[in-house]
Structure 1
Amino acid sequence: MGHSKIYLTILTLTTVFFLSCNSNQTSNSKEQWFTHRGDLESSNYSGAEQIKVDNVKDIELAWSFNMNDMPDGSRAGLSQCTPIVVKGVMYTMSAKAILYALDAATGKQIWQFDPFNGQQGGGTVRGVAYWEKNGDSRILFGAGPTLIAVNAEDGKPITDFGKNGAVDLRIGLRDDPSDLFTALTSPGVIYEDLYIVGGRLEDLYGSPPGYIRAYNVITGELTWTFHTIPKPGEPGYETWPKEAYKTAGGANNWAGMSVDTKRGLVFASLGSPSYDFYGADRLGQNLYGNCVLALDAATGDYVWHYQTVHHDLWDYDLPAPPNLVTLKKDGIDIDAVAQITKQGFVFVLDRDTGEPIFPIEEKSVPESFMPGEKAWPTQPFPTRPLPFARQYMTVEDLNDVSAENNLALQKQFDSLRYEGMYTPPDLKGTVMIPGTRGGAQWGGAAFDKETNTLYIRSMDVAELITIVERDPAKIKATSTIEQGGNLYKNYCAACHGANRQGNGAVFPELTNVKSRLSKEIAKTKITGGVGQMPGFSRALTDDEIESLLAFLYEEEDRVISEEAASTSQNDKIEYYNISGYTTWIDQSGNPAIKPPWGTLHSLDLSSGEYNWQVPLGNNPELQKDGAPLTGLEGKSGPIVTAGGLIFIGGAEDKLLRAIDKSNGQTLWEYELPAMANATACTYEVGGKQYVSISVGGTTENPSGSVMAFALK
């Protein structure tokens, strides 16, 4: 539901001064890829046109840079970092979260900076930010819970920024910093001399709120804070239980933000409140969870919001920053915000007021049967554009790779609760489509400024929600292995699998963990978090962590005391989803529903109509004779160029593709050494255009690489 703007400040003189002395520009030039998503408007667009439709077949590998910062035998890293390119220098981060500066024309290393000083390191980092003023140029990025600033020229820490070049992002998030997990998976955005950040939090009971904060780029001092779970007297406080700001968590911006420098506004896409799948302790609409939020960039003051999911029970976070777009309606140019969602919607909102450009209807959705839960009775459904992802399925949509597997899927489907999208989690299990990973994901959309066209990648697979009850009175264990198994089921199985089989490259299998990882390192990761995994120091006692390790490392079973058997961290009944974040598959490991499983869409934003929609990627083993491509799952996003091309990778076929933006036809593809689970970038150096992408690790080179392509 839309809300009126409270006020809007036009910073005319300030903006003119800012643009004259600060090279952080609003629109991307063809020479540079200035920010994580090309420009502050999150367009993923470049004016480069040397590589175009009629010559893209002639591009080849220009250079490749191997990171080589992980020991031999390490598990292959999965880099998600989009490089930025400024003045011929590329800045990027490895899967181990080490920062590199490279010559963007040759790939030769200029310098590197290890924020972990040779220690374990790691964590998902999707980009860095660049700031320059009066000859002072800096790179700002996140490493673990820390915001770091280094000199862009030599990679040395800016010692007068924060404490010796670093700011602890855990400080100021309501709770004891020593117990918190937070990380900048997506970089913040620059506005004048401010670095505005959100951050990833643990998606668990007891998570803190995900405040949006602005730090002074020069000093590292905190300038302003916006409370995403409102305090008394702040707009939205009434949408939560009384004093929920003291206990509720989440509603964080992990996907990134966009900036309109002319209006002096920053736009954030917010995630769901915690816990993601059960909200009896947070009854209400839950602002600002799942909101497009506009703030005064200089002060952090509220301007407007639009909530895309009320009282989220499905982890339908807004997965990417809003695209700042201009479209035509009734012959008039309208500045707008286009927000893609995991559900497959595009919410197109007026940039000044947050009011919908196309009508949006509140429709009734199913009620919850969970104890104490009250699902919100309606959800917003845009009437236009139509959804870009599948939002409904029947038994006819189950895959028919084999009759035996199809019959098993039918029996499973019939045993679960399913009443369409927004069917609440249930103790009997629930089918969910789109799943927690979309629809759209963190790769975001690309906006073609020439044609007012939005290009969107979608995943089109189903997911299961399997809710289990964690009653401390019922799960007390008598031995370490029994307790560790119970804890694994509740806290780990959703990502690493019920049988510890893992989930692709993101969540490793744990059946052989003791052969590749010391128990001490594993304990550090469980306690403090790493990569996509949050830390569990707040959720588990020291004794419980030891029991979980005993289970994982198959140690000798030991009788535990009554005190150790109790769950002293939390004595309340809790409900957990133990099958989230994974594709629903059949007995042979195939997606449970028929293809396509991944699609690329071209959307005319002015009309709200799709120009074309094509499967993206292919599994030839599952493609039936004469049938269209199967499409493949993928999280990275497209970029679009003035040369008439879309570049996109990120599927398990390991291909980087160039696609004709006018019709969706693939014109060029290149098989990379590993999956490029990152969005590409493009730039020009010395009059030559390059397309570059971060590539994941291999057995031979676990650190991964950065590769760049150009015309022969």
Structure 2
Amino acid sequence: MKRLILLSLVFLAVTGFVLAQLLNDTDWPEYNGNGERSHFSALNQINKDNVAQLKVAWTYASGGADTARNRSQMQCNPIIINGILYGVSASIQAFAVEAATGKEIWKSNLPDVAGTLSRGVTYWSDNQSKRIFFGAANWLYALDATTGKLIDSFGDHGKINLKTGIERPGSDDFISSNTPNTIYKNLIIVGGRVAENETALLGDVRAYDTVTGKLVWTFHTIPDKGEFGYNTWLAQPARQKFGGANAWAGMAIDRKRGIVYIPTGSAAFDFWGGNRPGDNLFANCLIALDATTGKRLWHFQLVHHDIWDRDPPCPPNLVTLNINGKQVDAVVQITKQGYIFVFDRVTGKPLFPIKETAFQTDAMEGEKPSKTQPIPTLPLPFTRQTFGAKDFNSFVANRDSLEGLLKKARFGTAYIPITGDMTIFYPGTDGGAQWGGAATDPDGIMYIPAKEIPVYTTLKKKEVLSDHAVNGSKLYQLNCAACHGADKTGNHDGSYPSLVNIEKRLTKEQITTILQKGKGMMPSFSHISDAEKNLIIDFLLNKNTDQKVVSTNNGQVPYHNTGYNRWYDKNGYPVSQPPWGTLTAVDLNTGQRRWQVPLGEYKGLTDKGIPPTGTDNYGGPLVTSSGLLFIAASRDEKIRAFDKRTGKILWTATLPAAGYASASTYSVNGKQFIVIACGGGKLNTKSGDKYVAFALP
């Protein structure tokens, strides 16, 4: 009897230990934590009382960082499932490591991924198979989650060519599914990034069978004849003439209801739409689709006839709110302009009034801007909305010349059509909100990283000789100068690199590959002829610059823009009043702001006694039930923990390179970790390849 009791006690002890371990082991199973994209975790071992004790638990060198030119990035939000962390390296290879130690289990060796970017991978399993889906270049790969090997029975020997089915006359080859895709049962729902010029591929959303790779359904984001929204394109056939309207930013999924929520990008070309009159559905929309069939349930267009590249930059958040005493399941979309749109998740009805507001419509010849744009009355914007002479910062350098430029510029409202004059966006074309997105907690509070830096551009008439014969210099101006500058010097924040003396950094073969396939944020130029590419390369290498070829760049768009130019002074600081980077808490139940603090700092300014200004930032927040918010994102190469109730900084650590990514949290054997990808490489910061995990001692 005693032996039976002893065995029973041992059994209960072991069972209790196992159950406790299972309860303590919490995963981060998908992009931004869950299908709601909440960036929220219920873990609470790390709390406000002990967060200052965090130390580095392990570091994983993923490999492939471009430390010579600092052009590589890691934007990955790693996922953690059953003690294994899955991520993407600086060389854009998928990998798996032990989540407790960082010890590598496997790393892929896939071809044709160089030059792309990735924000992470997607996990799916059934009783027979565990798979990692990984988008790189124009491919969607299916890997065995245990070994990292391609699953031969999926698609074409383990991969799907995402270009197939979205071609149109005159389109290029560029598509990249760089944001993790969305799982619903045995479907993987796929969007992608396409080019932003008139050669862009179609932006259709597609669902594939997770086992076979077979295409199950397609939603046309540019409608075909007979489909809803067809009449919002006055130039037909729109699906043959135009591209874009693509789901590049990610999606959210309500798995209980079987609804997927998809934000879509601008129609291409982004900055002039005279050739595509009309509101252009379903560009710049939040769309609710039946996840099983792809049938549209409802939509809301956030920007009509976008000519500002004002597409939503991140997945929406699914959250339950208390609106006037009633619990409402909501979907919330933040925007580059600093707006927050809140809808009933089922019906699409706005939960706060949205007003169609008139804006000026004077524009370049041929352009017909929308007379109104939808502006939420609540929640209040999380960024300032206008920039004028009074908004230069008090320590700005070369003030007189900047004020002189401003007097000749177009500025002052959210939606000013771009002309041949300097046109100022505030916040800039990159946000406001950026691809890192916002976090929400169960109380209905949203936490938003943002930037408030003016950006300027102009439209210039394309110059094409009457016989269309052009030399390398002219081809460069037509195809490259908008980003890299007319003088090849790039821009001062490093987002568009200088091409001066490029022959010292790249071979002709390497440049050819970049032009053909694209690299990083640069799209493919496969739509121009080999002869044109060769002349551009010769021009860059200062060879044979007098030779001419017949240009193929004679499309419907008569203008090109002069780039995405952040407005900095001669000392390299934004010209506007700080804060330049912010972290804001908004109560979605009431639409009111809780707090706002700067995110990041310039040490050179704080050393002079200037309070932290915030910096440009890329990456999202992580919120926990213990009252903490973790975020890296800033260009000062720090990760910080904030009190989510007040915005007070509680802990800071220096990273090996800037963490332009979103952090994840998880628990293994009862120990909680915070992990961040430290890839740097943007904003003139050094590139890196490290994943760094923090834990309590």
Give the distance between the partners of 1:199 and 1:670, measured in 2 at CA: 34
Q: Alpha-carbon deviations, 1:91-114, whole Å to 9, x = none?
A: 000122111100000000001112
* TM-score, with structure 2 as normaliser: 0.93
Q: Does 1:380 align with 2:365?
A: no
- For 1:216, the equivalent position in structure 2 comes to 209
Q: Which residue of 2 aligns with 1:705?
A: 690
CA-CA distance at 1:176 after TM superposition = 7.0
In the alignment, which of 281, 284, 289 is matched to residue 275 of structure 2?
Answer: 281
Q: Does 1:52 align with 2:47?
A: yes
For residues 30-50 of structure 1, what are the alpha-carbon distances to aligned partners after superposition, in whole Å with 9 as ceiling and x for unaligned?
A: 611110110011101111100
1:323 deviation in Å? 0.2
1:391 maps to which residue? 385
Distance 1:634 1:659 in 2: 16
How far is the alpha carbon of 1:507 from its aligned partner? Answer: 3.3
1:106-145 equivalences under 5 Å are: 106-116=101-111, 121-145=114-138
- Asked whether the 8 Å contact 2:427–2:453 carries over to 1, the reply is yes
The amino acid that maps onto 1:447 is T
- Out of 547, 560, 563, which is 1:576 matched to? 560
Pair 1:458-2:446 in alignment:
no
| Equivalence for 1:604 | 587
The TM-score normalised by the length of structure 1 is: 0.91
Q: CA deviation at 1:435?
A: 1.4
CA distance in structure 2 between the partners assigned to 1:693 and 1:337 by the alignment: 27
Aligned partner of 1:669 in structure 2 is 652
1:522 to 511, 518, 535: 511
Distance 2:456 2:145 in 1: 46
The answer to whether the aligner puts 1:240 opposite 2:225 as a matched pair is no
Structure 1 residue 506: deviation in Å?
4.2
- Kept in 1, the 8 Å contact 2:115–2:518? The answer is no
Q: Tell me the equivalent position of 2:187.
A: 194
User: Aligned match of 2:676 in 685, 693, 698?
Assistant: 693
Query: Structure 1 stretches of 5 or more lacking a match?
Result: 1-27
Structure 2 letter corresponding to 1:161: F
Matching residue's letter, 1:707: V
Q: Relative to structure 1, is the Cα distance of residues 104 and 625 closer, same or farther in structure 2, using a 3 angstrom cutoff? A: same
Against the structure 1 CA distance between its residues 476 and 29, is the aligned structure 2 distance closer, same or farther, given a 3 Å change threshold? farther
- Residues 128-169 of structure 1: per-residue CA shift (max 9 Å, x gap): 000011141100011110000011011111100001101000
Corresponding residue to 1:614 among 590, 593, 597: 597
| Aligned match for 1:678, one of 639, 661, 665 | 661
Equivalent residue number for residue 399 of structure 2? 406
Q: CA deviation at 1:681?
A: 0.4
Deviation of the 1:500 alpha carbon: 2.9
* Cα pair 2:56 2:694 within 8 Å, conserved: yes
Partner of 1:567: 551
What corresponds to 2:332 in structure 1? 338
For the structure 1 residues 340 and 530, does the alpha-carbon distance in structure 2 shift closer, same or farther, using more than 3 Å as the test?
same
Q: What per-residue deviation string (whole Å, max 9, x for no partner) do you get for residues 226-267 of structure 1?
A: 000001111111111232122111100100001001111000
Of residues 23, 33, 38, the one that matches 1:38 is 33
Tell me which of 247, 260, 268 is aligned to 2:262.
268
Instruction: Say whether the 8 Å CA contact 2:113–2:136 is kept in structure 1.
Output: no
- Deviation at residue 486 of structure 1 after TM alignment: 2.9
Tell me, yes or no, if the aligned pair for 2:630 and 2:663 is still in contact at 8 Å: yes
Structure 1: how far apart are the matches of 2:109 and 2:238? 39
- How many angstroms apart in 2 are the aligned matches of 1:496 and 1:422? 25
Counterpart contact for 2:352–2:378, Cα < 8 Å: yes
| Matched position secondary structure for 1:696 | strand
Measure, in 1, the Cα distance between the counterparts of 2:186 and 2:335: 31
Distance in structure 2 (CA, Å) of the matches to 1:496 and 1:92? 31
- 1:495 maps to what in 2? 483
1:78 aligned partner: 73
SS of 1:361 mapped into structure 2: strand
1:550 shift after superposition: 1.4
Instruction: Look up the SS of the partner of 2:48 in the other structure.
Output: coil
Amino acid across the alignment from 2:644: K
Deviation at 1:571, TM superposition (A): 5.4
CA distance change for structure 1 residues 109 and 506 in 2, over 3 Å: closer, same or farther? farther
Letter in 1 for 2:522: M
For the 8 Å contact 1:30–1:47, the answer to whether it is kept is no
Instruction: Report the CA distance between 1:705 and its aligned residue.
Output: 1.1
Match of 2:98 among 98, 103, 109: 103
Match of 1:16 in 2: none
Residue identity over aligned pairs, in percent, reads 42
Displacement of 1:700: 14
Deviations 1:167-200 (A, max 9, x none): 0000010337994210011011000000001100
The structural deviation recorded for 1:553 is 1.4
In structure 2, relative to structure 1, the CA distance for the partners of 1:571 and 1:239 (3 Å cut) is: closer
SS in 1 for 2:545: coil
Q: 2:501 aligned with 1:512, yes or no?
A: yes
| C-alpha RMSD of matched pairs (Å) | 2.2
Q: State the distance in 2 between where 1:375 and 1:475 align.
A: 32
Please tell me whether residue 170 in structure 1 is matched to residue 163 in structure 2.
yes
1:10 corresponds to = none
State the number of aligned residues: 671
Farther-moved stretch of structure 1 (548-557 vs 460-469): 548-557
Shift of residue 407 of structure 1? 0.7
Instruction: State the distance in 1 between where 2:696 and 2:554 align.
Output: 60
Determine if the alignment matches structure 1 residue 467 to structure 2 residue 467: no
State the alpha-carbon separation in 1 of the partners of residues 35 and 263 from structure 2: 14
Whether the 8 Å CA contact 1:401–1:622 is kept in 2: the answer is no
> Hey, what does 1:15 align to over in structure 2?
none
Shift of 1:499: 3.6
Q: Distance in 1 between matches of 2:469 and 2:127?
A: 63
Asked if the contact 1:78/1:506 (under 8 Å) is kept, the reply is no
Q: What displacement does 1:585 show?
A: 1.6
Partner SS, residue 408 of structure 1: helix
Give the AA of the match of 2:461: E
